[in-house]
Amino acid sequence: MPDPLTPEQRHRCMSHIRSRNTKPELKVRRWLWQHGYRYRLNVSGVPGKPDIVMRRFRTAIFVNGCFWHGHEGCPKYRLPQTNVDFWQAKVSRNRERDQRNYQILSQNGWQVIVVWECQLTPRNIEQTMAQVEWNLNHNLLDIIRRQRRRKPKPYIAFDAPLPIAAEDETEYPKPAKQ
């Protein structure tokens, strides 16, 4: 199936798709930031190049455009009238790649949250992000539970002298958020 675009057009098109600062992604980032969540972008070593990486929650967030990532049943995912086969193949390739990435992440112990562009309209964004927040906290609790299970409580014999540390008004550094 021939590509209807010239190589130059294709390059422009693809670099646009790959660009990181797409508007829906910015909406998610802004919301998270305003609600005190800190994150990283384009973290190397995290498979699948997630849009937003929240290490503390061991969660990767993908903000997907409904058309390019083929949001099933979404009015925004409507194939153009011409070159239907081409677009269909293109979108299903993207979908397969997405699924592969999600799988690799989850095999590496990451939680994946997918947010769709259409869920970020002014009408929907609060509900969507509340759901994202719920998932983040759920993931964090999971991490904490697993860590507790791994670390047995230290055993202190009763006849052993307990270690005593005298500290006068020590200023503890605030724990880093992420």
Scanning residues 71 to 110, which ones bind Zn ion (CB under 5 A)? 71, 74, 76
Residue 132 burial class via C-beta count within 10 angstroms: exposed 0-12, middle 13-18, buried 19 and up: buried
- Map residue 30 onto helix, strand or coil: helix
Residue closer to Zn ion (CB basis): 46 or 114: 114
* Residue 120 interacts with Zn ion (CB under 5 A): yes or no: no
Residue closer to Zn ion (CB basis): 27 or 71: 71
Phi, psi of 38, deg, nearest 5: -115, 145
* Residue 43 interacts with Zn ion (CB under 5 A): yes or no: no
* Residue 66 interacts with Zn ion (CB under 5 A): yes or no: yes
Question: Least distance to Zn ion from the beta carbon of 79, Å?
Answer: 14
Residue closer to Zn ion (CB basis): 74 or 125: 74
Name which of 56, 58, 60 is nearest 37 in CA terms.
56
Structure tokens at 21: 């600062």
Scanning residues 139 to 168, which ones bind Zn ion (CB under 5 A)? none
Whether 77 contacts 94, CB under 8 Å: no
Among the candidate windows 3-11, 106-114, 118-126, 151-159, which touches Zn ion by CB under 5 A?
118-126
The strand pairing partners of 30, in sequence order, are none
Residue closer to Zn ion (CB basis): 39 or 77: 77
Residue closer to Zn ion (CB basis): 57 or 102: 102
Q: How many CA within 13 A on the CB side of residue 69? A: 18
* Residue 118 interacts with Zn ion (CB under 5 A): yes or no: yes
Q: Residue 51 contacts by C-beta under 8 Å, 6 or more apart in sequence? A: 20, 25, 28, 41, 61, 62, 63
* Residue 116 interacts with Zn ion (CB under 5 A): yes or no: yes
Q: Which residues bind to Zn ion, rule: CB under 5 A?
A: 66, 71, 74, 76, 116, 118
